Every structure is written in structure tokens, then in C-alpha cells.
């Protein structure tokens, strides 16, 4: 059995995909999204990770990337968040980032 604590947050940013195929060439231009994030971490005991404290850490981290991100993606945001929170000592099991809550990426760490 695994115990997983999760929190959500969102941030506004501009990004673009310079190499987008012709069918979606509008993505080559800088455009805005509200990116929604769900961060899941493994815990071993009750209250080992306090929800609100983890959420505040996530929000603080995301506040540093609320700007023009240029050629970034949900996939790259997932990797950045995973690396940041693993470096802080959490055991991240999954990170999901979506554009406007519609489409996105989930990065799942397999056991």
C-alpha cells in the first residue's frame, strides 16, 4: 500500500511552440494559458506532509515562473516541478500540468 498526498495550484504564463506543425501553426506564436498543476508526493505517516505547507511551497515555486516562458510545454513544466520538489526532499510520485484544465501531461514516477 502507498500513501500519497496531493495538492493543486495554478499559474498564468505565456509560451509558444516554435516548431509546431502547419496544422497547428498558431501555436508558434506566443499565447497565454492558465496552467493547472497537481503535485503528488509519497508519505509514510499521518501528517508527515502537511497539505497547506506543501501547497504554499508549490505556489511559491510557481510564482517564479509566472512570466513569458517562450518555448516551453506542459511536459517541461512537469519535469521542472518534479526536479524542484525531489531536490527539496519530497518523494514525488506524480506531477500533472494542464493548459486551462483541458489538455496536459502527467509525469509519473514508476516504482
76-100 pLDDT tens trace? 999 999 999 999 999 999 999 999 9
Residue partners of 81: CB distance under 8 A and separation at least 6: 37, 39, 58, 61, 92, 95, 97
Q: Which helix (H) or strand (E) holds 104?
A: strand 103-108
Query: What pLDDT, on a 0 to 100 scale, did the predictor assign at position 9?
Result: 97
Q: What is the mean pLDDT of residues 49-69?
A: 87
The pLDDT of residue 45 is: 80
Give the pLDDT score at 68: 58
CB 3 within 8 A of CB 35: no
How much is the pLDDT for 82?
97
In the predicted model, what is the mean pLDDT of the chain?
A: 92
CA distances from 89 to 34, 47, 49, 86, 96 (A): 27, 16, 11, 5, 19
- Domains (range + CATH), the chain: 3-108 (3.30.479.10)
Amino acid at each position: 500500500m502507498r500513501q500519497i498526498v496531493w495538492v493543486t495550484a495554478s499559474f498564468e504564463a505565456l509560451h509558444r511552440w516554435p516548431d509546431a506543425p502547419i496544422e497547428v501553426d498558431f501555436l508558434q506564436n506566443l499565447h497565454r494559458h492558465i496552467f493547472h498543476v497537481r503535485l503528488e508526493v509519497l508519505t509514510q505517516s499521518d501528517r508527515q506532509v502537511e497539505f497547506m505547507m506543501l501547497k504554499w511551497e508549490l505556489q511559491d515555486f510557481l510564482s517564479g515562473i509566472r512570466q513569458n516562458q517562450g518555448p516551453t510545454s506542459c511536459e517541461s513544466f512537469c519535469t521542472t516541478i518534479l526536479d524542484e520538489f525531489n531536490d527539496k526532499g519530497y518523494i514525488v510520485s506524480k506531477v500533472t500540468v494542464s493548459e486551462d484544465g483541458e489538455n496536459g501531461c502527467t509525469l509519473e514516477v514508476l516504482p
